[in-house]
Structure 1
Amino acid sequence: MDVTINLWALIILGFGGSIGHCIGMCGGFVLSYSHALQNRQILGHTLYSLGRLSSYTLLGIIVGGLGQALTINIHIKGIFFVVLGIILLLIGVSLLGKSRFLLKVENFLKDILPVETFFQYAFSQKGMIGIFLLGLANGLLPCGLVYTALLTAAGSGSYIWGGIGMFAFGLSTLPVMLLLGFFSSKISSMRYRNTILKIIAILLIAFACLMIYKGSMFLLMDAGTSMMMKHH
Protein backbone atom coordinates (compact mmCIF):
# COMPACT_ATOMS: atom_id res chain seq x y z
CA MET A 1 0.00 0.00 0.00
CA ASP A 2 1.19 3.49 -0.84
CA VAL A 3 3.02 4.74 2.27
CA THR A 4 1.88 8.29 1.49
CA ILE A 5 -1.75 7.24 1.93
CA ASN A 6 -0.87 5.50 5.19
CA LEU A 7 1.01 8.56 6.45
CA TRP A 8 -1.83 10.97 5.69
CA ALA A 9 -4.34 8.55 7.19
CA LEU A 10 -2.30 8.47 10.43
CA ILE A 11 -2.00 12.28 10.55
CA ILE A 12 -5.75 12.76 10.01
CA LEU A 13 -6.51 10.01 12.52
CA GLY A 14 -4.19 11.56 15.10
CA PHE A 15 -5.43 15.13 14.80
CA GLY A 16 -9.13 14.34 14.46
CA GLY A 17 -9.00 11.59 17.06
CA SER A 18 -7.24 13.85 19.57
CA ILE A 19 -10.28 16.13 19.49
CA GLY A 20 -12.96 13.47 19.41
CA HIS A 21 -11.33 10.79 21.56
CA CYS A 22 -8.11 11.76 23.38
CA ILE A 23 -9.65 14.61 25.36
CA GLY A 24 -12.13 12.23 26.93
CA MET A 25 -9.82 9.22 27.31
CA CYS A 26 -6.46 10.81 28.17
CA GLY A 27 -7.46 14.25 29.41
CA GLY A 28 -7.49 13.01 33.00
CA PHE A 29 -3.80 12.08 32.84
CA VAL A 30 -2.89 15.51 31.50
CA LEU A 31 -4.93 17.24 34.18
CA SER A 32 -3.42 15.01 36.88
CA TYR A 33 0.05 16.46 36.39
CA SER A 34 -0.78 19.91 34.95
CA HIS A 35 -1.80 21.37 38.31
CA ALA A 36 1.49 20.31 39.88
CA LEU A 37 3.72 21.89 37.23
CA GLN A 38 3.17 25.50 38.35
CA ASN A 39 5.83 27.56 36.51
CA ARG A 40 7.26 24.59 34.59
CA GLN A 41 4.30 24.01 32.28
CA ILE A 42 6.27 24.02 29.01
CA LEU A 43 8.95 21.59 30.23
CA GLY A 44 6.40 19.27 31.82
CA HIS A 45 4.10 19.07 28.80
CA THR A 46 7.10 18.64 26.50
CA LEU A 47 8.46 15.70 28.50
CA TYR A 48 5.02 14.08 28.71
CA SER A 49 4.63 14.43 24.95
CA LEU A 50 8.11 13.03 24.32
CA GLY A 51 7.18 10.01 26.42
CA ARG A 52 4.06 9.36 24.31
CA LEU A 53 5.97 9.90 21.06
CA SER A 54 8.65 7.44 22.18
CA SER A 55 6.07 4.74 22.87
CA TYR A 56 4.22 5.35 19.61
CA THR A 57 7.40 5.30 17.53
CA LEU A 58 8.71 2.11 19.13
CA LEU A 59 5.37 0.38 18.64
CA GLY A 60 5.30 1.62 15.04
CA ILE A 61 8.71 0.10 14.35
CA ILE A 62 7.56 -3.22 15.84
CA VAL A 63 4.27 -3.49 13.92
CA GLY A 64 5.90 -2.16 10.74
CA GLY A 65 8.52 -4.90 11.07
CA LEU A 66 5.80 -7.52 11.57
CA GLY A 67 4.03 -6.18 8.49
CA GLN A 68 7.27 -6.40 6.54
CA ALA A 69 7.80 -10.01 7.66
CA LEU A 70 4.21 -10.95 6.76
CA THR A 71 4.36 -9.52 3.23
CA ILE A 72 7.17 -11.68 1.90
CA ASN A 73 5.09 -12.78 -1.09
CA ILE A 74 2.06 -11.49 -2.92
CA HIS A 75 -0.36 -14.12 -1.57
CA ILE A 76 0.49 -13.48 2.09
CA LYS A 77 0.47 -9.74 1.40
CA GLY A 78 -3.06 -9.99 0.00
CA ILE A 79 -4.33 -11.94 3.02
CA PHE A 80 -2.56 -9.52 5.37
CA PHE A 81 -4.20 -6.44 3.86
CA VAL A 82 -7.65 -8.03 3.73
CA VAL A 83 -7.46 -9.06 7.40
CA LEU A 84 -6.19 -5.62 8.45
CA GLY A 85 -8.94 -3.99 6.42
CA ILE A 86 -11.63 -6.11 8.07
CA ILE A 87 -10.32 -5.27 11.56
CA LEU A 88 -10.18 -1.54 10.71
CA LEU A 89 -13.70 -1.79 9.32
CA LEU A 90 -14.92 -3.30 12.60
CA ILE A 91 -13.17 -0.53 14.54
CA GLY A 92 -14.80 2.12 12.33
CA VAL A 93 -18.24 0.62 12.91
CA SER A 94 -17.49 0.58 16.66
CA LEU A 95 -16.56 4.27 16.61
CA LEU A 96 -19.94 4.97 15.02
CA GLY A 97 -21.54 3.30 18.04
CA LYS A 98 -22.89 0.37 16.01
CA SER A 99 -20.74 -2.32 17.61
CA ARG A 100 -18.97 -3.17 20.90
CA PHE A 101 -16.01 -4.76 19.10
CA LEU A 102 -13.54 -2.03 20.06
CA LEU A 103 -14.62 -1.96 23.70
CA LYS A 104 -14.22 -5.74 23.97
CA VAL A 105 -10.71 -5.57 22.48
CA GLU A 106 -9.68 -2.76 24.85
CA ASN A 107 -11.02 -4.60 27.89
CA PHE A 108 -9.32 -7.84 26.85
CA LEU A 109 -5.92 -6.21 26.38
CA LYS A 110 -6.32 -4.20 29.57
CA ASP A 111 -6.58 -7.49 31.48
CA ILE A 112 -3.51 -9.15 29.92
CA LEU A 113 -1.09 -6.22 29.54
CA PRO A 114 0.88 -4.97 32.61
CA VAL A 115 0.25 -1.31 31.75
CA GLU A 116 -1.49 -0.57 35.05
CA THR A 117 1.64 -1.61 36.96
CA PHE A 118 3.73 0.70 34.80
CA PHE A 119 1.30 3.56 35.47
CA GLN A 120 1.55 3.02 39.22
CA TYR A 121 5.36 3.12 38.96
CA ALA A 122 5.23 6.31 36.85
CA PHE A 123 2.92 8.02 39.36
CA SER A 124 5.27 7.05 42.18
CA GLN A 125 8.20 8.88 40.55
CA LYS A 126 8.70 12.51 41.47
CA GLY A 127 9.59 15.44 39.26
CA MET A 128 10.05 15.55 35.52
CA ILE A 129 11.19 11.92 35.23
CA GLY A 130 7.82 10.82 36.54
CA ILE A 131 6.02 13.00 33.98
CA PHE A 132 8.10 11.54 31.13
CA LEU A 133 7.35 8.00 32.36
CA LEU A 134 3.67 8.89 32.63
CA GLY A 135 3.71 9.91 28.96
CA LEU A 136 5.57 6.71 28.09
CA ALA A 137 2.95 4.66 29.93
CA ASN A 138 0.11 6.61 28.33
CA GLY A 139 1.46 5.65 24.91
CA LEU A 140 1.09 1.98 25.88
CA LEU A 141 -2.44 2.37 27.24
CA PRO A 142 -5.04 0.06 25.64
CA CYS A 143 -6.73 2.50 23.29
CA GLY A 144 -8.81 1.93 20.19
CA LEU A 145 -7.41 5.01 18.48
CA VAL A 146 -3.82 3.84 18.98
CA TYR A 147 -4.68 0.30 17.84
CA THR A 148 -6.21 1.74 14.70
CA ALA A 149 -3.05 3.75 14.07
CA LEU A 150 -0.88 0.68 14.69
CA LEU A 151 -2.86 -1.40 12.21
CA THR A 152 -2.47 1.38 9.67
CA ALA A 153 1.27 1.55 10.37
CA ALA A 154 1.54 -2.22 9.98
CA GLY A 155 -0.04 -1.82 6.55
CA SER A 156 3.05 0.15 5.45
CA GLY A 157 4.93 -3.15 5.39
CA SER A 158 8.09 -1.44 6.63
CA TYR A 159 9.59 -1.01 10.09
CA ILE A 160 11.01 2.35 9.01
CA TRP A 161 7.70 3.71 7.70
CA GLY A 162 5.87 2.10 10.60
CA GLY A 163 8.01 4.11 13.02
CA ILE A 164 7.73 7.30 10.95
CA GLY A 165 3.97 6.85 10.64
CA MET A 166 3.41 6.40 14.37
CA PHE A 167 5.71 9.35 15.12
CA ALA A 168 3.60 11.46 12.73
CA PHE A 169 0.45 10.15 14.42
CA GLY A 170 1.80 11.19 17.82
CA LEU A 171 2.84 14.62 16.54
CA SER A 172 -0.62 15.23 15.11
CA THR A 173 -2.18 14.65 18.55
CA LEU A 174 0.09 17.21 20.23
CA PRO A 175 -1.72 20.48 19.40
CA VAL A 176 -4.96 19.47 21.10
CA MET A 177 -3.30 17.70 24.03
CA LEU A 178 -0.96 20.64 24.69
CA LEU A 179 -3.87 23.05 24.56
CA LEU A 180 -5.73 20.79 26.96
CA GLY A 181 -2.82 21.03 29.38
CA PHE A 182 -2.66 24.84 29.21
CA PHE A 183 -6.40 25.57 28.97
CA SER A 184 -7.92 22.46 30.50
CA SER A 185 -11.02 24.12 31.91
CA LYS A 186 -12.10 25.37 28.49
CA ILE A 187 -11.07 22.56 26.15
CA SER A 188 -12.33 19.71 28.30
CA SER A 189 -15.86 20.97 27.67
CA MET A 190 -15.52 21.36 23.88
CA ARG A 191 -18.58 20.71 21.77
CA TYR A 192 -18.75 18.77 18.54
CA ARG A 193 -16.42 15.99 19.77
CA ASN A 194 -18.93 13.29 18.84
CA THR A 195 -19.37 14.77 15.37
CA ILE A 196 -15.61 14.81 14.78
CA LEU A 197 -15.35 11.22 16.02
CA LYS A 198 -18.05 10.13 13.59
CA ILE A 199 -16.24 11.84 10.71
CA ILE A 200 -13.06 10.00 11.69
CA ALA A 201 -15.02 6.74 11.81
CA ILE A 202 -16.39 7.28 8.29
CA LEU A 203 -12.92 8.11 6.95
CA LEU A 204 -11.57 5.02 8.70
CA ILE A 205 -14.24 2.82 7.10
CA ALA A 206 -13.32 4.25 3.69
CA PHE A 207 -9.63 3.56 4.37
CA ALA A 208 -10.50 0.02 5.53
CA CYS A 209 -12.37 -0.61 2.28
CA LEU A 210 -9.34 0.64 0.34
CA MET A 211 -7.10 -1.74 2.26
CA ILE A 212 -9.46 -4.67 1.60
CA TYR A 213 -9.56 -3.72 -2.09
CA LYS A 214 -5.74 -3.61 -2.26
CA GLY A 215 -5.52 -7.01 -0.58
CA SER A 216 -8.10 -8.45 -2.97
CA MET A 217 -6.10 -7.16 -5.95
CA PHE A 218 -2.97 -8.86 -4.63
CA LEU A 219 -4.87 -12.12 -4.24
CA LEU A 220 -6.30 -11.85 -7.75
CA MET A 221 -2.83 -11.14 -9.15
CA ASP A 222 -1.47 -14.17 -7.32
CA ALA A 223 -4.30 -16.36 -8.63
CA GLY A 224 -3.69 -15.10 -12.17
CA THR A 225 0.05 -15.78 -11.91
CA SER A 226 -0.63 -19.30 -10.60
CA MET A 227 -2.99 -20.06 -13.48
CA MET A 228 -0.45 -18.82 -16.04
CA MET A 229 2.26 -21.00 -14.52
CA LYS A 230 -0.02 -24.05 -14.69
CA HIS A 231 -0.77 -23.46 -18.37
CA HIS A 232 2.94 -23.29 -19.10
Structure 2
Amino acid sequence: MMETSLISLFVMALSMSFSHCVGMCGGIVIAYSSAKIHKDTSKAYQIFSHILYSLGRVSSYTIIGVVSAYVGYKISASIQAKGILFIIVGVFLILFAILYVFFPKAISYIEPSLPKNPQNILSQSFKRFFVYLMQSQNLSSFYGLGILNGLLPCGMVYFFASYALTAPSAVAGGLIMVVFGLATILPMFTLGFITGKINTSSFRNIFLKISFVLMLGFGGISVYKGISILQGKSHTMEHQMNMNHTDHHLSHQMDMQ
Protein backbone atom coordinates (compact mmCIF):
# COMPACT_ATOMS: atom_id res chain seq x y z
CA MET A 1 0.00 0.00 0.00
CA MET A 2 2.81 2.38 0.91
CA GLU A 3 4.66 1.49 -2.30
CA THR A 4 1.57 2.29 -4.40
CA SER A 5 1.19 5.64 -2.65
CA LEU A 6 4.82 6.54 -3.28
CA ILE A 7 4.53 5.59 -6.96
CA SER A 8 1.45 7.79 -7.29
CA LEU A 9 3.32 10.61 -5.53
CA PHE A 10 6.21 10.22 -7.95
CA VAL A 11 3.94 10.35 -11.01
CA MET A 12 2.12 13.39 -9.63
CA ALA A 13 5.36 15.21 -8.81
CA LEU A 14 6.79 14.37 -12.24
CA SER A 15 3.69 15.73 -13.97
CA MET A 16 3.68 18.87 -11.85
CA SER A 17 7.37 19.39 -12.52
CA PHE A 18 6.93 19.46 -16.29
CA SER A 19 3.98 21.83 -16.04
CA HIS A 20 5.16 24.08 -13.19
CA CYS A 21 8.73 23.53 -11.97
CA VAL A 22 10.40 24.22 -15.28
CA GLY A 23 8.76 27.62 -15.54
CA MET A 24 9.22 28.66 -11.91
CA CYS A 25 12.70 27.37 -11.11
CA GLY A 26 14.10 26.99 -14.59
CA GLY A 27 15.70 30.42 -14.42
CA ILE A 28 18.24 29.29 -11.85
CA VAL A 29 19.14 26.21 -13.90
CA ILE A 30 19.57 28.27 -17.05
CA ALA A 31 21.59 30.88 -15.11
CA TYR A 32 24.14 28.48 -13.65
CA SER A 33 24.25 26.42 -16.87
CA SER A 34 25.19 29.55 -18.81
CA ALA A 35 27.55 31.08 -16.24
CA LYS A 36 29.26 28.09 -14.66
CA ILE A 37 29.22 25.34 -17.31
CA HIS A 38 31.16 26.22 -20.43
CA LYS A 39 30.44 24.58 -23.77
CA ASP A 40 33.94 23.16 -23.98
CA THR A 41 33.63 21.26 -20.70
CA SER A 42 33.19 17.51 -20.87
CA LYS A 43 29.76 15.91 -20.80
CA ALA A 44 30.76 14.05 -17.65
CA TYR A 45 31.45 17.34 -15.85
CA GLN A 46 28.15 18.82 -17.03
CA ILE A 47 26.19 15.76 -15.91
CA PHE A 48 27.92 15.63 -12.53
CA SER A 49 27.24 19.35 -12.00
CA HIS A 50 23.52 18.93 -12.63
CA ILE A 51 23.43 15.85 -10.37
CA LEU A 52 25.04 17.79 -7.52
CA TYR A 53 22.52 20.59 -7.99
CA SER A 54 19.65 18.10 -7.90
CA LEU A 55 21.02 16.40 -4.80
CA GLY A 56 21.16 19.78 -3.09
CA ARG A 57 17.46 20.36 -3.79
CA VAL A 58 16.54 16.86 -2.61
CA SER A 59 18.50 17.46 0.60
CA SER A 60 16.48 20.59 1.35
CA TYR A 61 13.21 18.85 0.52
CA THR A 62 14.07 15.93 2.79
CA ILE A 63 14.66 18.22 5.75
CA ILE A 64 11.37 20.00 5.03
CA GLY A 65 9.58 16.64 4.94
CA VAL A 66 11.04 15.48 8.25
CA VAL A 67 10.14 18.78 9.94
CA SER A 68 6.62 18.73 8.48
CA ALA A 69 5.99 15.17 9.68
CA TYR A 70 7.28 16.05 13.13
CA VAL A 71 5.00 19.11 13.31
CA GLY A 72 2.07 17.00 12.15
CA TYR A 73 2.85 14.42 14.82
CA LYS A 74 2.86 17.09 17.51
CA ILE A 75 -0.37 18.65 16.25
CA SER A 76 -2.21 15.32 16.10
CA ALA A 77 -1.58 14.44 19.73
CA SER A 78 -5.10 12.99 20.01
CA ILE A 79 -7.14 10.87 17.60
CA GLN A 80 -9.61 13.71 17.11
CA ALA A 81 -6.84 16.17 16.29
CA LYS A 82 -5.35 13.67 13.85
CA GLY A 83 -8.67 13.31 12.03
CA ILE A 84 -9.12 17.07 11.83
CA LEU A 85 -5.55 17.47 10.52
CA PHE A 86 -6.19 14.97 7.73
CA ILE A 87 -9.37 16.82 6.72
CA ILE A 88 -7.68 20.25 6.75
CA VAL A 89 -4.74 18.97 4.71
CA GLY A 90 -7.10 17.25 2.26
CA VAL A 91 -9.16 20.40 1.74
CA PHE A 92 -5.95 22.41 1.22
CA LEU A 93 -4.70 19.89 -1.38
CA ILE A 94 -7.99 20.06 -3.28
CA LEU A 95 -8.07 23.87 -3.21
CA PHE A 96 -4.44 24.01 -4.30
CA ALA A 97 -5.21 21.67 -7.22
CA ILE A 98 -8.03 23.95 -8.39
CA LEU A 99 -5.86 27.07 -8.11
CA TYR A 100 -2.92 25.30 -9.73
CA VAL A 101 -4.90 24.42 -12.86
CA PHE A 102 -7.60 27.07 -13.22
CA PHE A 103 -6.12 30.08 -11.41
CA PRO A 104 -2.32 29.73 -11.78
CA LYS A 105 -1.76 33.43 -11.09
CA ALA A 106 -3.14 32.92 -7.59
CA ILE A 107 -0.25 30.54 -6.88
CA SER A 108 2.18 33.43 -7.32
CA TYR A 109 0.76 35.03 -4.18
CA ILE A 110 2.02 32.11 -2.09
CA GLU A 111 5.33 32.07 -3.95
CA PRO A 112 6.71 35.47 -2.91
CA SER A 113 9.64 36.66 -4.98
CA LEU A 114 12.61 37.54 -2.80
CA PRO A 115 14.00 40.15 -5.22
CA LYS A 116 10.77 42.15 -4.82
CA ASN A 117 11.89 43.01 -1.31
CA PRO A 118 15.56 43.97 -1.82
CA GLN A 119 15.81 45.62 1.60
CA ASN A 120 14.65 42.47 3.37
CA ILE A 121 17.43 40.74 5.33
CA LEU A 122 16.39 37.38 3.90
CA SER A 123 16.51 38.74 0.35
CA GLN A 124 19.92 40.29 0.91
CA SER A 125 21.31 37.09 2.40
CA PHE A 126 19.88 35.03 -0.45
CA LYS A 127 21.34 37.36 -3.08
CA ARG A 128 24.76 37.43 -1.39
CA PHE A 129 24.92 33.65 -1.07
CA PHE A 130 23.59 33.15 -4.60
CA VAL A 131 26.19 35.49 -6.13
CA TYR A 132 28.97 33.78 -4.17
CA LEU A 133 27.93 30.34 -5.39
CA MET A 134 27.51 31.52 -8.97
CA GLN A 135 31.04 32.92 -9.00
CA SER A 136 32.60 29.93 -7.28
CA GLN A 137 34.49 27.44 -9.45
CA ASN A 138 34.20 24.71 -6.85
CA LEU A 139 32.04 21.73 -7.79
CA SER A 140 30.37 21.85 -4.38
CA SER A 141 28.88 25.22 -5.36
CA PHE A 142 26.36 23.35 -7.53
CA TYR A 143 25.20 21.43 -4.47
CA GLY A 144 24.91 24.71 -2.56
CA LEU A 145 22.79 26.24 -5.34
CA GLY A 146 20.53 23.20 -5.14
CA ILE A 147 20.07 23.63 -1.39
CA LEU A 148 19.31 27.30 -1.92
CA ASN A 149 16.76 26.53 -4.63
CA GLY A 150 15.11 23.91 -2.41
CA LEU A 151 14.49 26.51 0.29
CA LEU A 152 12.86 29.06 -2.02
CA PRO A 153 9.10 29.68 -1.62
CA CYS A 154 7.35 27.23 -3.95
CA GLY A 155 3.74 26.14 -4.25
CA MET A 156 4.72 22.57 -5.10
CA VAL A 157 6.87 22.34 -1.99
CA TYR A 158 3.93 23.65 0.06
CA PHE A 159 1.71 20.99 -1.46
CA PHE A 160 3.97 18.03 -0.71
CA ALA A 161 5.07 19.39 2.66
CA SER A 162 1.39 19.65 3.61
CA TYR A 163 0.90 16.03 2.62
CA ALA A 164 3.97 15.14 4.69
CA LEU A 165 2.16 16.60 7.71
CA THR A 166 -0.01 13.48 7.70
CA ALA A 167 2.93 11.06 7.48
CA PRO A 168 3.02 8.43 10.25
CA SER A 169 6.66 9.22 11.11
CA ALA A 170 9.47 11.69 10.45
CA VAL A 171 11.16 9.10 8.22
CA ALA A 172 7.98 8.72 6.15
CA GLY A 173 7.69 12.50 5.87
CA GLY A 174 11.26 12.73 4.65
CA LEU A 175 10.62 9.89 2.19
CA ILE A 176 7.63 11.73 0.72
CA MET A 177 9.80 14.77 0.00
CA VAL A 178 12.63 12.58 -1.34
CA VAL A 179 10.20 11.08 -3.84
CA PHE A 180 9.07 14.59 -4.75
CA GLY A 181 12.67 15.74 -5.18
CA LEU A 182 13.64 12.74 -7.29
CA ALA A 183 10.65 13.30 -9.57
CA THR A 184 11.76 16.87 -10.24
CA ILE A 185 15.26 15.82 -11.27
CA LEU A 186 14.37 14.70 -14.80
CA PRO A 187 12.66 17.96 -15.91
CA MET A 188 15.29 20.19 -14.31
CA PHE A 189 18.16 18.00 -15.49
CA THR A 190 16.81 18.05 -19.04
CA LEU A 191 16.34 21.79 -18.86
CA GLY A 192 20.06 22.19 -18.26
CA PHE A 193 20.70 20.85 -21.73
CA ILE A 194 17.78 22.16 -23.80
CA THR A 195 17.20 25.51 -22.02
CA GLY A 196 13.49 25.40 -21.39
CA LYS A 197 11.93 24.04 -24.57
CA ILE A 198 9.84 21.66 -22.49
CA ASN A 199 7.90 24.56 -21.06
CA THR A 200 6.45 25.44 -24.48
CA SER A 201 5.80 21.84 -25.48
CA SER A 202 2.28 20.63 -26.24
CA PHE A 203 2.88 17.92 -23.63
CA ARG A 204 2.59 20.54 -20.89
CA ASN A 205 -1.23 20.44 -20.95
CA ILE A 206 -1.19 16.65 -20.70
CA PHE A 207 1.04 16.77 -17.63
CA LEU A 208 -1.19 19.49 -16.17
CA LYS A 209 -4.29 17.29 -16.47
CA ILE A 210 -2.51 14.29 -14.96
CA SER A 211 -1.35 16.46 -12.07
CA PHE A 212 -4.86 17.78 -11.48
CA VAL A 213 -6.45 14.32 -11.27
CA LEU A 214 -3.77 12.98 -8.91
CA MET A 215 -3.81 16.09 -6.72
CA LEU A 216 -7.59 15.85 -6.33
CA GLY A 217 -7.21 12.16 -5.59
CA PHE A 218 -4.69 12.68 -2.80
CA GLY A 219 -6.78 15.50 -1.35
CA GLY A 220 -9.93 13.39 -1.42
CA ILE A 221 -8.17 10.41 0.17
CA SER A 222 -6.84 12.64 2.95
CA VAL A 223 -10.33 14.00 3.70
CA TYR A 224 -11.74 10.46 3.66
CA LYS A 225 -9.05 9.27 6.08
CA GLY A 226 -9.80 12.18 8.39
CA ILE A 227 -13.53 11.45 8.42
CA SER A 228 -12.85 7.75 8.96
CA ILE A 229 -10.57 8.53 11.89
CA LEU A 230 -13.19 10.77 13.49
CA GLN A 231 -15.94 8.22 12.92
CA GLY A 232 -13.73 5.46 14.27
CA LYS A 233 -13.11 7.57 17.37
CA SER A 234 -16.82 8.11 17.93
CA HIS A 235 -17.53 4.41 17.41
CA THR A 236 -14.77 3.51 19.83
CA MET A 237 -16.13 5.90 22.45
CA GLU A 238 -19.65 4.52 21.94
CA HIS A 239 -18.33 0.96 22.29
CA GLN A 240 -16.49 1.87 25.47
CA MET A 241 -19.60 3.52 26.93
CA ASN A 242 -21.65 0.41 26.12
CA MET A 243 -19.02 -1.80 27.73
CA ASN A 244 -18.98 0.40 30.84
CA HIS A 245 -22.77 0.32 31.00
CA THR A 246 -22.78 -3.49 30.65
CA ASP A 247 -20.14 -3.89 33.35
CA HIS A 248 -22.12 -1.60 35.65
CA HIS A 249 -25.34 -3.58 34.98
CA LEU A 250 -23.63 -6.92 35.67
CA SER A 251 -22.10 -5.55 38.83
CA HIS A 252 -25.51 -4.32 39.98
CA GLN A 253 -27.08 -7.75 39.35
CA MET A 254 -24.33 -9.48 41.33
CA ASP A 255 -24.90 -7.11 44.24
CA MET A 256 -28.64 -7.88 44.15
CA GLN A 257 -27.90 -11.60 44.32
Q: Normalising to structure 2: TM-score of the pair? A: 0.80
Gap runs ≥5 in structure 1:
none
Distance 2:172 2:69 in 1: 7
Structure 2 match to 1:37? 37
What CA deviation, in whole Å up to 9, does each residue of 1:140-180 have, x standing for no partner? Answer: 11111111111122222210011112112111111121111
Measure how far apart 1:186 and its partner are: 3.8
Structure 2 match to 1:24? 23
* Pair 1:145 & 2:153 matched: no
**Residue correspondence of structure 1 range 109-148 to structure 2 within 5 A:** 114=122, 117-125=125-133, 126-127=136-137, 128-148=139-159
Measure how far apart 1:50 and its partner are: 1.3
Output the amino acid matched with 1:124: Y
Q: Normalising to structure 1: TM-score of the pair? A: 0.88
* Matched residue SS, 1:114: helix
Structure 2 match to 1:159? 170
**Residue correspondence of structure 1 range 47-62 to structure 2 within 5 A:** 47-62=52-67
Measure how far apart 1:129 and its partner are: 3.4
8 Å CA contact 1:119–1:134 kept in 2: the answer is no
Measure how far apart 1:228 and its partner are: 2.8
Structure 2 match to 1:176? 187
Measure how far apart 1:103 and its partner are: 3.4
Measure how far apart 1:6 and its partner are: 4.1
Output the amino acid matched with 1:175: L
Please list every run of at least 4 consecutive aligned residues from structure 1 whose deviation after the TM superposition is greater than 4 angstroms: 98-101, 108-113
What RMSD, in angstroms, separates the aligned Cα atoms of the two structures? 2.5
Structure 2 match to 1:97? 102
What CA deviation, in whole Å up to 9, does each residue of 1:107-136 have, x standing for no partner? Answer: 399979936632541222312333222111
Distance 1:194 1:93 in 2: 15
Output the amino acid matched with 2:32: Y
What CA deviation, in whole Å up to 9, does each residue of 1:154-209 have, x standing for no partner? Answer: 22221001111211211111112111112226434322313312320222012101
8 Å CA contact 2:54–2:185 kept in 1: the answer is yes
Output the amino acid matched with 1:121: F
Gap runs ≥5 in structure 2:
245-257
